[in-house]
Amino acid sequence: MLTFTNQAALSYRNRVRYSNLTTGQIADTLTVAKEALMGTYGPGGDVTYVVRLANNGTAPLTDLTMTDDLGGYAFGGGTVYPLSYVADSLRLYVNGALQPAPTVVAGPPLVVSGVTVPAGGNAMVVYEAAVTEYAAPGADGTVTNTVTATGAGLAAPVAAAATVSAQSGPELAIAKGLSPETVGADRQVTYTFTIENRGNAATAPADNVIVTDTFDPVLSNITVTLNGAPLAPAGNYAYDESTGVFSTEAGAVSVPAATFTQDPATGVYTAEPGEAVLTVTGTIETV
């Protein structure tokens, strides 16, 4: 929008009186707005974008080209892209009606050509972009990508941007081990539970992290450790020697966030998972 103001002057008997300022706006021929349907992204996920183009003029705008930079940023003397176009995901609507697919070059950057916006009308372009290994996964990570419309009917390129933030929270997985794997009756065994967190936030009490297992054969006289330190049963876990059912109390096990590193040569982010190790040692009553 171009904003303009003006003011009138009234003169009489060598006096001057000024009017109030009036303000107006001249609408751009084409306006572009962009939004992400979800405001967050996660590793390996997709983001759906909607680009709206409105023609405020009295003549159609034909053969427009729309370029999305897919969030590209300079790194290591080149450009890396935290987003990549999902093939065949783009849809074009004109005044609400689905149109034949325009020409799409995935890039990066993504280039869409052959878009027409009728006089006084609008077009909407919807497409998906996949999150790549160049998207910052940390709790403060963001991706901003800009779409730019160009064409013969435009006095200058018209651009709009959208920003999405990295999802915040833990992403947990658990693995279980047994030592020794071969044991006689009335012998001790140790179960080891390794819990990994690939998320960008440590677990909190509100996450209600609970480890449960049913030991078969049943164990007796168990001892429990967390990250190598003895864990007392009170407030931390419960165990029923008659059934073999073991369960930690909600929040007794906490898992730190992953740490993320960006390769200085390639720009690729890698994660070192946060880890908590829970062990349960006891004596097998029967085999």
- pLDDT tens, position by position, 94-127: 999 999 999 999 999 999 999 999 999 999 999 9
CA–CA separation, 149 and 171 (whole Å): 38
pLDDT averaged over every residue in the chain:
94
Strand, coil or helix: what is 198?
Answer: coil
Which range (14-23, 51-60, 106-115) has the least confidence?
14-23
Strand partners, 224: 280
- Residue 87 pLDDT greater than 90, yes or no: yes
Residues 130-178 have pLDDT tens digits of: 999 999 999 999 999 999 999 988 989 999 999 999 999 999 999 999 9
Residue 23: the pLDDT is 86
pLDDT band at 279 (very low <50, low <70, confident <90, very high): very high
Cβ-contact 249, 233 below 8 angstroms: no
Amino acid identity, residue 90? Answer: L
pLDDT band at 250 (very low <50, low <70, confident <90, very high): very high
For 269-272, which contacts have Cβ atoms below 8 Å and span 24 or more sequence positions? 269/133, 269/134, 269/135, 269/136, 269/137, 270/133, 271/43, 271/137, 271/198
Contact 156, 122 (CB under 8 A): no
Tell me the domains of the chain and their CATH numbers.
28-166 (2.60.40.1530), 172-284 (2.60.40)
Q: How far is CA 205 from CA 164, 251, 252, 273, in A?
A: 27, 5, 8, 19
Give the mean pLDDT of 212-236: 96
